[in-house]
Amino acid sequence: MMNPKAVNELVLQYLAGNLTCKEVTDLVTDFLEGRLTFMERVRFQMHLGLCLDCRAYLSQIKQTIRTLGKLPAEPIPPEVEEELLRRFRNWKRR
């Protein structure tokens, strides 16, 4: 009979081995959007736990999202603002 530790390792390998790095990159948005099934999520996280590269990839995706969220918007040009406020005053008078 196998000892429990060996069984654990086999289970770990089985779960992690179920997903390749390529598959992890395909599932990353589903993971972040909370769209993976319970078992998919377990396998995804098992893989991450064992794979430094995929952890780095997930972190890059998260940083990409954070970068986009902080992308500054250009301010409204004064002449455009003035024109729109003028229209607002006209609209108000009606």
Q: How far apart are CA 12 and CA 16, in angstroms?
A: 6
DSSP-assigned letter for residue 75? P
Q: What is the pattern of x (binds another protein, CB under 8 A) and - over residues 21-60?
A: xxx-xx-xxx-xx-x----------------xxx-xx-xx
DSSP per-residue string spanning 20-56: -HHHHHHHHHHHHTT-S-HHHHHHHHHHHHH-HHHHH
Among 3, 37, 71, 79, indicate the residue that binds another protein (CB under 8 A): 71
Binding site for another protein (CB under 8 A): 20-23, 25-26, 28-30, 32-33, 35, 52-54, 56-57, 59-76, 80-81, 83-85, 87-89, 91-92
